[in-house]
Amino acid sequence: MKLFARIGGLLVGLALSTAAMAHAMLDRSTPPVGSSVKVAPGRVELWFSEPLEPAFSTVKVVDAGNRQVDARDAAVDKVDRKHLLVSISSLPPGRYRVVWRVVSVDAHATEGDFTFDVAPQK
């Protein structure tokens, strides 16, 4: 019986520690992280591993001079709370950096950034 109690306690401890470490991590993006696209996208989309808290989740797109080039309309998708997006207008060729900071619904904050390139037209 003591063995079962120990195993049960261990399982509960593992479950609690896993729940405590639940952070919204970037799962995928459009355009993909580090990619080169031929046509500038109309928006940048990010998908995370956990649902996001809309009031505290942001994303912006900046150019090589660190000027914000998105439409400043970042929003968490109302249907898929793991999906964060922002509109961008026509971008000239160059490298762009996507900077995000999100808070998951369990109040854990994560942040990161990545680049993508818009290739020159040939």
pLDDT digits (tens, 9 = 90+) for 85-112: 999 988 999 999 999 999 998 889 999 9
pLDDT in tens, 38-77: 999 999 999 999 999 999 999 999 999 999 999 999 999 9
DSSP letter, residue 88: B
DSSP per-residue codes, 13-72: HHHHHHHHT----EEEEESPTT-EESS--SEEEEEESS-B-GGG-EEEEE-TT--B-B-S
Here the CATH number for the domain that contains residue 38 is 2.60.40.1220
The total number of structural domains in the chain stands at 1
Residue 32, preceding bond cis, omega within 30 degrees?
no
Q: Per the domain annotation, does 2 fall within a domain? A: no
Q: Per the domain annotation, does 51 fall within a domain? A: yes
Note the pTM of the prediction, 2 decimals.
0.81
